[in-house]
């Protein structure tokens, strides 16, 4: 409304009491908004001492609820740094649409931990991100962010250098960085990152971030890489002839896949080598764990009439499409020729992102309710 231009929030000073009284007697929306801004200016000129009068707080809240969006937005910007602001009004603004709530969430000294926790539960993703970016949030709020595990909110927290993230909280952030690539860069620069956590992250970082870790913590890259390779090679010794698939052996391979995954050593190369060594159960459980699938879904793909679903599962975990044809041949050789050769060679169409590949895989296997739970291998 044009009234906002006529009555700016600053520079005019507090209106005279007579003007406020006249506005209070006028029930029009225009007068309500002018009254709200006038009371605001009065409080700025003479901030209320001690706890704000409940009556004055109720006046603020009532007027703010009647105000238009632009007035609420201006009000939030004005109250963001005000220690005297009514708590009830600040909490209402904190749950308003994000453009109104953001300055309150980032700066208001009135908001307490319980208020911020409520925002994390009740408000939108953008509100949660604003909470995670708030300077000097407590360990209690940081733990709540980590517990919820929302990637964008976790990334905002990882970039917040003033947040009180505990040692356990940082460890959990590092663990989340296995699946959330956006966390890795901020965490490698985090002031509380320890050498032990840095070395743990090293296993799943790209080359550039590995160099950053090495420069900061003096990690011996060749030695660590050799140690990782030896650890993987030590549990993947060539088996000749091909092992007989029994329930006991499958359980052993499932546990092995779990240990490799927990140690950050379960990588695409491990799956390719498992297939070459004809360790089908290790391939199945490793692919399932690495991609967040079930073993039944992977077996359904291996039993399909087309290799399309299996390709998407492999692409989802980072197996290069150039490797897929030879991998497919290895798997067919120990799985009675399955998956079949019907359908198009989708891996020849071009690269696909891991997220898109995972969605395509789940879409294909979701309709196959009759897929056998265990393959004859």
Residue 339 has pLDDT above 70, yes or no: yes
The pLDDT value given to residue 320: 82
Q: Which of 16-25, 226-235, 247-256 has the highest mean pLDDT?
A: 247-256
Q: Helix, strand, or coil here: 309? A: helix
Check: pTM over 0.75? Answer yes or no: no
Residue 179 has pLDDT above 50, yes or no: yes
Q: Please provide the average confidence, as pLDDT, over all residues in the chain.
A: 80
**Mean pLDDT of the region 343-350:** 82
For residue 59, what pLDDT band results from cuts at 50, 70 and 90? low
**Mean pLDDT of the region 118-147:** 95
Residue 376 has pLDDT above 90, yes or no: no
CA 359 to chain centre: 18
The residue that leads in pLDDT, 229 or 124, is 124
Cβ neighbors of 334 (< 8 A, separation 6 or more) are 242, 278, 280, 377
Q: Cβ(293)–Cβ(313) under 8 Å?
A: yes
For residue 113, report the phi and psi dihedrals to the nearest 5 degrees: -55, -45
The pLDDT value given to residue 30: 73
Q: Distances in Å between the alpha carbon of 72 and those of 7, 16, 86, 228, 262?
A: 14, 23, 14, 56, 49
Q: Cβ(222)–Cβ(201) under 8 Å?
A: no
Burial status of residue 6 (CB atoms within 10 A of its CB: 0-12, 13-18, 19 or more): exposed
The pLDDT value given to residue 200: 81
The residue that leads in pLDDT, 294 or 348, is 294
Show me where the domains of the chain are located: 2-215, 230-366
Cβ neighbors of 74 (< 8 A, separation 6 or more) are 4, 9, 37
**Mean pLDDT of the region 208-225:** 68
Cβ neighbors of 69 (< 8 A, separation 6 or more) are 97, 100
Find the helix packing angle between 69-79 and 54-66, rounded to 10°. Answer: 140
Q: Distances in Å between the alpha carbon of 174 and those of 193, 196, 258?
A: 9, 11, 18
Q: Tell me: the pLDDT tens digits for 150-164? A: 999 999 999 999 999
Q: Cβ(187)–Cβ(158) under 8 Å?
A: yes
For residue 123, what pLDDT band results from cuts at 50, 70 and 90? very high
Query: What DSSP state is assigned to residue 192?
Result: T
**DSSP states of 324-371:** HHHHHHHHHHTTTT-S---S--GGGS----HHHHHHHHHHHHHT-TT-
- Token pair recorded at residue 296: 């039944």
The pLDDT value given to residue 321: 83
Residue 195 has pLDDT above 80, yes or no: yes
Find the helix packing angle between 69-79 and 29-45, rounded to 10°. Answer: 10
Residue 287 has pLDDT above 80, yes or no: yes
The pLDDT value given to residue 233: 44
The pLDDT value given to residue 202: 77
> By percentage, how much of the chain surpasses pLDDT 90?
44
Query: What DSSP state is assigned to residue 51?
Result: S
Torsion of CA 311, 313, 314, 315, to 10 degrees: 80
Residue 313 has pLDDT above 70, yes or no: yes
For residue 302, give the H/E element and its range. helix 295-302
Least confident piece of the model among 63-72, 158-167, 314-323: 63-72
> By percentage, how much of the chain surpasses pLDDT 70?
76
Least confident piece of the model among 31-35, 131-135, 280-284: 31-35
- What are the start-end ranges of the H helices in 159-279? 167-176, 184-188, 195-202, 207-217, 221-235, 247-262, 268-276
CA atoms lying within 13 Å on the CB side of residue 45: 14
Considering only CA atoms, which of 140, 178, 156 is closest in space to residue 291?
178
């Amino acid at each position: 409304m044009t009234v906002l231009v006529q009555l700016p929030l600053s520079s005019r000073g507090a209106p005279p009491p007579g003007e406020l009284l006249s506005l209070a007697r006028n029930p029009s929306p225009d007068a309500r908004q002018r009254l709200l801004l006038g009371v605001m200016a009065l409080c700025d000129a003479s901030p209320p001492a001690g706890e704000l009068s409940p009556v004055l707080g109720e006046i603020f809240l009532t007027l703010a609820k009647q105000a238009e969006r632009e007035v609420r937005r201006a009000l939030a910007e004005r109250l963001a740094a005000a220690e005297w602001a009514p708590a009830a009004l600040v909490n209402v603004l904190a749950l308003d649409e994000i453009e109104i709530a953001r300055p309150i969430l980032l700066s208001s000294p009135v908001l307490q931990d319980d208020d911020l926790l409520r925002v994390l539960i009740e408000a939108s993703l953008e509100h949660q991100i604003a909470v995670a970016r708030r300077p000097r949030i407590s360990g209690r709020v940081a733990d709540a962010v980590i517990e919820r595990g929302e990637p964008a909110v976790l990334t905002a927290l990882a970039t917040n250098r003033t947040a009180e993230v505990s040692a356990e909280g940082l460890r959990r952030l590092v663990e989340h960085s296995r699946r959330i690539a956006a966390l890795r860069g901020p965490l490698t620069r985090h002031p509380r990152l320890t050498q032990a956590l840095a070395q743990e992250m090293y296993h799943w970082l790209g080359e550039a971030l590995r160099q950053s870790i090495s420069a900061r913590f003096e990690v011996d890259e060749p030695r660590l890489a050799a140690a990782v390779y030896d650890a993987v090679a030590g549990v993947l010794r060539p088996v000749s002839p091909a092992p007989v698939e029994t329930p006991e052996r499958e359980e052993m391979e499932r546990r092995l896949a779990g240990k490799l995954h927990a140690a950050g050593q379960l990588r695409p190369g491990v799956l390719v080598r498992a297939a070459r060594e004809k360790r089908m159960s290790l391939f199945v459980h490793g692919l399932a764990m690495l991609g967040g699938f079930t073993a039944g879904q992977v077996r359904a793909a291996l039993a399909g009439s087309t290799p399309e679903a299996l390709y998407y599962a492999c692409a989802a975990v980072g197996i290069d499409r150039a490797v897929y044809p030879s991998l497919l041949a290895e798997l067919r050789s120990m799985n009675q020729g399955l998956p079949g050769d019907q359908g198009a060679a989708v891996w020849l169409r071009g690269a696909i992102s891991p997220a898109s590949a995972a969605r395509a895989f789940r879409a294909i296997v979701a309709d196959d309710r009759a897929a056998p739970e265990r393959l004859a291998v």
